[in-house]
Amino acid sequence: MFIFFTSCKDSNHTNNPIQISKAEKDTVSLYGPTGMVRNIRQDKKGNILIAAFKGVFRYDGKTFTNLTSKIKSPTFWDVLEDRKGNLWFASKDSGVYYYNKKGFQHFTIRNGLASNFVGSIYEDRAGNIWFATGGGASRYDGKSFRNFTTKDGLSSNAVTSIMEDKTGKLWFGTREEPCYYDGKKFTVFKKINGKPFYNVWSIIEDKKGNIWFGGSILKDRKGERGDTLVLEFGLWRYDGIDYTKVSNKGTSMILQDKNGDIWTTGALKVNGNWVFSRYDEESLYDKNPNVTEIFAQKGLGMLCGILEAKDGSIWFGSMNGVYRYNGKTLTDF
């Protein structure tokens, strides 16, 4: 491990899933995954779960175990341990894998999933498992899938993230505008000065009940085909009535820690540096909150998912693997 130092603080389907194999002995290493790490979670035992393009890994504090070494060639984007202790793996091109002590099961569009491109997994308070897919939002109740698309009022079928707030509304980030679902209908976020939001990758609810999301404003389309987009990056806060632009920094992933600080990853501008930042809780609602850039990756070195571990350390993914920050030291695994 290399150590860096910083001075900063409706459609229903009931098809049975494909049975793959019984769990076999997994590949264990002293080193973390190389290449892209999209998302990071923690299981009930405190192990760190890492969804990387080259596999889903479990870190027990000493070694990294590839939990998916027996699965052929999918590219993984997310991992989730549900309340029953079962694991779910989202893939870019092969749907969803379900893992328990007996082995793997595989869900695809053949079983009712909206798309085989699954970027994020979420478990709601009722125990339903939601999947943010390239073809809409899929809800799995343990028996069958129900898919929500633009036909139901979803703002875009390219869903990036899902979050349930304290009132029970489900929020969806999409490649276009964000929206929420109250159990009956979808409400799409209004435009800012006549310009729509665009490409929202992450949505959270803070301790005060405000909704935070990283998203661009689509200011204009240029070129003969209108495929050159003019975007205004930003981190936004929504209090139920008005939007506040907290920062001009591009924001892809957001987390609020136990102390109330907001952590983000995102690009400063198109083809610019990607930055891992912290917004201090004391000034979070000021006009100009205090923000500290913890780590920067030059060029197209994308930074991705964020996790606060039980010990208070902050983990984040990158194009080059996974990092852990303990408030003083940044560890590259």
Residue 168: the pLDDT is 97
DSSP state of 191: P
Q: What span, in angstroms and rounded, lies between the C-alpha atoms of 307 and 113?
A: 27
Distances in Å between the Cα of 221 and the Cα atoms of 190, 200, 226 are 19, 18, 5
Residues of the chain with pLDDT under 50: 1-25
What domain range includes position 150? 2-332
CATH code of residue 194? 2.130.10.10
Residue 10: the pLDDT is 39
- Closest by CA position to 38, among listed 327, 320, 299, 274: 320
For residue 331, the Cα-to-chain-centroid distance in whole angstroms is 22
Residue 271: the pLDDT is 60
Side-chain half-sphere of 242: how many Cα atoms within 13 Å? Answer: 3
Q: What span, in angstroms and rounded, lies between the C-alpha atoms of 79 and 98?
A: 10
Supply angle C-alpha 194, 304, 231, rounded to 5. 25
Stated pTM of the model: 0.88
Residue 233: the pLDDT is 86
Under 8 Å CB-to-CB from 217, ≥6 apart: which residues? Answer: 192, 195, 196, 197, 198, 231, 232, 234
Extract the tokens encoding 142.
């343990």
Q: Which amino acid is at 233?
A: F
- In contact, 107 and 95? CB cutoff 8 Å: yes
Q: What is the secondary structure of 54-83 as a DSSP string?
A: TEEEEE-SS-EEETTTTS-S--EEEEEE-T
Residue 189: the pLDDT is 86
What total number of domains does the chain contain?
1
3-state percent breakdown (helix, strand, coil) of the chain, nearest 5: 5, 50, 45
In terms of C-beta density within 10 A (0-12 exposed, 13-18 middle, 19 or more buried), how is residue 247 classed?
Answer: buried
